[in-house]
Structure 1
Amino acid sequence: MLLMTGAAALAVGLRARSGDAYHAAAWRATGATFLAEGVSVTTQNAFGGAAMHAGGTSSLMKAYLAWLPVFNHSRTFMVTGALLALAWLALHRGAPGPRFWTGLVALLCLGTAVGAALGVREGSFTRTGHVTALAGWDLMELLVILPVLFLLLVKNRVDRLLWALLGAYAASLALGIFWFLVLGQIAPGWTPSNWSRVAVRDALYVGMAAAALFRWLAVRRGREVHGMLGPPPLRVSMIR
């Protein structure tokens, strides 16, 4: 779902040559971010699947458990970097140009590096230690995305489908924090069913992918999608 969301969002940003430049830039930035996150998740899952097949006492499993915090924290901080870039897009008066894209790449790389360093410092996976850390860093990300959503809303710098996509992602963070706290602190001796843990986020990820695909179809059909506050006000020149 993350790969589909990223690919569709990036296609929207690259194809939307006309219309609001801010909206197109936000779709492109969001698409690149979730595409990178999807690649990271897919790589981690392939690594984890091979480790599970090798067995719980295998060297491959030990290597996977050592790398698990690095994967998870690097993604958290990478997306946080992208959110800061979207905040800049909301506050900046000029049209997004080379400085914005340079800043986005820098923030994505810096966030990935900071998260990876925190993962290395944390060490190999432990249920209570890593799950609690995940809840704390996801809470940080949630506290970043909520004001960014507000800025994007009042500045009308993203269309309503992208705002809905980011809102669904924020909801997935909130639900993930709940599950992590349940697993790590509230009931460390209890494990919910695998399908329920996956379904918590997958339902929202489906909504994210649907929002990106609907927007891509709108671009193909030449339909405009305005921001949450409607179309921008008309600017009538008094000079003929």
Structure 2
Amino acid sequence: MNDPAGFQGALVGYDFTLAGARLTALGSGALWWAERRLLCVSDLHMGKSERHLRRGGAPLPPYETRDTLARLAALIRQLQPETLLCLGDSFDDLAAAQALPPEDVQDLRSLIAAQDWIWVEGNHDPGPAGFGGRSCTEMRLGPLTFRHIAEGDAEAGEISGHYHPKARLRRGSARPAFLLDRTRLILPAFGTYTGGLRSSDPALAGLMASEAIAILTGPKPLPCPMPR
């Protein structure tokens, strides 16, 4: 189960600048852009337990969407964003989106109605799912470009998700982590049942510049040289 610091680390953050934008990596695994009052989360993967069972997997406790929404609602109450941007793979697939329990649907729609809600399409959830908000393949806001999957030749200011990065210190356990260099930021997964890819994996090591850092989530976000 992925619980990036739960509520405890929700508002504790690590401040940095990307393409001139002042941003904060929160201990919860979300990204806060205070100047725009924009909250960004990636890879919620709502409905994962339903899809897992539908595809022949062992039953999982079907509470991951409720937990993910509860943590997201807590962040929204605390930060009062004007814009909420979901950075792709918000649902485990479109069938899982349609199979959400009614109480989860009601809670999700209440959150969407409270602010400008943007769905960036992911590889698991292409196209709108019918819950409201607006959908796009990528979003350009000021100096930043938000997309689901990082592009190797991206201009400075790219923010993406998809890989669910994790990192660890020598004597610690692996934690969900932001990966940051001069060009891009990759967010950790926010969803409760999401796994993770070590920052040393070639897919991530090949994307991130040599000076990249990992910002480990938790009660106090911890920046360190990106483990390779």
- Shorter-chain TM-score category? under 0.3
Q: Max radius of gyration: which structure?
A: 1
Larger helix percent = 1
TM-score w.r.t. the length of structure 2 is 0.25
